[in-house]
Structure 1
Amino acid sequence: MTLSFKSALLPSMLAISLALAGCQDSADSTDNNIETANATTADLENENTTLDKAGKMSAEEQMIANITRYRWTLTSAVSKDDKPLAVLTDVKDQIRLSFNQNHDDNALSYTVGCNTISAEYELKDSTLAIEDGMSTKMSCGDLDKAENALMQLMQGDSQLILVKDVESKDNSLGDAPLLTQITSNSDTLVWKGRLTPQAKYNSKGETLFWAVNAKMVPCAAGSSEMCLQVKPITYDDQGIKTSEGEWSAFNGEIEGYQYDGKHNEVLRIQRYSLNNSDAAEESSSIEEYAYVLDAVIESSVVE
């Protein structure tokens, strides 16, 4: 009888044990879910804190981000006595200044139309401090005086004042902001900005090499409209030409390039997609790219 009672009791005890185990597993699972949820919440809070921190820029960082988006051309140069610096103003249209940002390194470059001088810089508040730079070593003839004068002005600390384009209708700097630079000896340089192609087209450029023939051709058979005659060229990593394409009519514009009909030239071009850019709205539905001159790497006079 006792044996029979124990046998009958065992299934009930087993069921109770399993139920208790199930409850324990459920509790453990709930605890684990709570811990996971808490961890996920903590991760999200940490991520949001990081994003909030990344979204906040110091005044210096904001200034650097702004001036890097433009290429600057000199518009005026006056001494501390408010007299024009003729050595610079006579060639001001070809005096350029660029700021570049690469991770934590800030660099600038400037030229009067001959050598390019490059240097690292620091910006604290509105004070620009330029370190000793490096320059190419070409003889510049009549431009030597202008180059030496600009190099002297760029030494030491300068004060920067950035003013947005008067035609800008929003909080952006617009298409042509002004950057005033007061040098260490109180001379004043005023630079006018122009958006870089990367900023203008909101995309990374693709490098192309095109040969441009001095002779233009009809844009299409039977057309009276004349177009540039171009062909693609390919170079290897060592700069050795590996292939050339066929001549064809280019019915478009290469921004920054001036055709004179007297030279056969090879151009290095940056091609920018117009997709997802404001410029796309201003272009025809057929045009998909914008072409910007990067450099003329070969030029020969046509006899």
Structure 2
Amino acid sequence: MKPIMSSARVLIPSLLVASLALSACNDTAKVQEAELGTTADTSEVVAEDNSQTTTNMTDDDSATPEQAMIDTLDSYRWSLASAVDSNNQPITALTTIKEQVMLNFDSQSQNNISYNVGCNTISAVYKLQEQMLNVKDGMSTKMSCGKLDAVENQLNELMQGDSTVSLTTSETPSLTQVTSNSVTLVWSGRMTAQAKYNSKSDTVFWAVDAQSKPCSDNNAQLCLQVRPVTYDEQGIKTTEGEVVEFAGVIDGYEHDDTHNEVLRLKRFKTEVDSVLVDNIDSQYAYVLDTIIERTAVK
């Protein structure tokens, strides 16, 4: 791959350094995962029983209400359903792009919370006490997001500080968040891969070309053109491999044919009948963690 263009305004963020320290290559799969490189993720992941009530989403009766809520927040990937201001008027900057406004919790990583509007990922530390959520110490990747810059800043301002949260459970769980300035954000939950597969994940870095090409074994299907990428402990890119075709699906990722991108992915070992990938015999499911580089194609 050509060197990253200066117009991309890319900076490997400090929030990546811990995960980069574990980069390595192992395992194989039909789409040549052996050539795509992984880093070990030592976090243990436990699937939660989502049939329980709002305040008892864990089978452990001794769990505190806060821990029960944290377990539930961890088990779902949250997308924005609605956003209204203190006068109950829609916040159109957010609602017009609500499908791409995402929120994630990860108590395995020192109570980490992350959120984005489809460009940079902002990560912070959170604390939950009863129903009071406190978010602080946010860090962000540094890609230029064009028109999304303003709404990204708006979301960050809403997320930082104190807010009250409540959960309702159904087939699709709902998280209601009321910020300190009386803005109400409602988030819709989708079970995470960690909870779904009840397994450890590897961390994989892929450089994805903007241009997809017909798959070598099926010209009617387009394949992503993927290169494995590794980084050192300081977040400096050390290697970038040869192109490998990928015909599967990356959960949470929508391919952008106007930008070359570097993705940080979580890779899960699945059963043969996995529905997350096109290749029914694939051994892995891939979930987007964050986009860490983006370069416009001229």
Structure 1 distance, partners of 2:135, 2:206, is 37
Aligned pairs (5 A) from 1:1-303: 56-102=62-108, 105-128=110-133, 130-136=134-140, 138=142, 142-165=147-170, 168=171, 176-213=172-209, 214-220=211-217, 223-228=218-223, 230=225, 232-238=227-233, 239-242=236-239, 244-245=241-242, 247-259=243-255, 261=257, 265-275=261-271, 280=274, 286-297=281-292
SS of the residue corresponding to residue 146 of structure 1 reads helix
- Number of residue pairs matched? 235
Structure 2 distance, partners of 1:249, 1:137, is 27
- Percent identity reads 41
Find the counterpart in structure 2 of residue 14 from structure 1: none
Give the CA deviation at 1:251. Answer: 3.5
Seen in structure 2, the aligned counterparts of structure 1 residues 241 and 233 have a Cα distance that, compared at 3 Å, is farther
Seen in structure 2, the aligned counterparts of structure 1 residues 146 and 268 have a Cα distance that, compared at 3 Å, is closer
Return 69-78 or 250-259, whichever deviates more.
250-259
What 5-or-longer segments of structure 2 have no aligned partner? 1-59
Instruction: Tell me which amino acid in the other structure corresponds to 1:120.
Output: V
CA deviation map 1:102-156 (0-9, x unaligned): 47x423233334554443333222222x153334385655445434443443355
Seen in structure 2, the aligned counterparts of structure 1 residues 88 and 294 have a Cα distance that, compared at 3 Å, is closer
CA deviation map 1:243-266 (0-9, x unaligned): 624x45433223333345555554
Give the CA deviation at 1:228. Answer: 1.0
Higher relative CO (Cα under 8 Å, sequence separation at least 6) belongs to: 2
What root-mean-square deviation, in Å, do the aligned CA atoms of Structure 1 and Structure 2 show?
Answer: 3.5
**Could you tell me whether the CA contact under 8 Å between 1:272 and 1:290 is conserved in 2?**
yes
TM-score scaled by length of structure 2: 0.63
TM-score scaled by length of structure 1: 0.62
SS of the residue corresponding to residue 133 of structure 1 reads strand
**Could you tell me whether the CA contact under 8 Å between 1:161 and 1:180 is conserved in 2?**
yes
Structure 2 distance, partners of 1:232, 1:257, is 16
Give the CA deviation at 1:211. Answer: 4.4
More strand by share: 2
Higher Cα radius of gyration:
1
Instruction: Tell me which amino acid in the other structure corresponds to 1:136.
Output: S
Structure 2 distance, partners of 1:108, 1:263, is 27
Instruction: Tell me which amino acid in the other structure corresponds to 1:134.
Output: G
More helix by share: 1
Instruction: Tell me which amino acid in the other structure corresponds to 2:180.
Output: S
Structure 2 distance, partners of 1:265, 1:137, is 13
CA deviation map 1:205-262 (0-9, x unaligned): 2233444452413442xx44324154552525254443624x4543322333334555
What 5-or-longer segments of structure 1 have no aligned partner? 1-53, 169-175
Seen in structure 2, the aligned counterparts of structure 1 residues 228 and 298 have a Cα distance that, compared at 3 Å, is farther
SS of the residue corresponding to residue 57 of structure 1 reads coil
Instruction: Tell me which amino acid in the other structure corresponds to 1:119.
Output: A
Give the CA deviation at 1:178. Answer: 0.8
Seen in structure 2, the aligned counterparts of structure 1 residues 199 and 78 have a Cα distance that, compared at 3 Å, is same
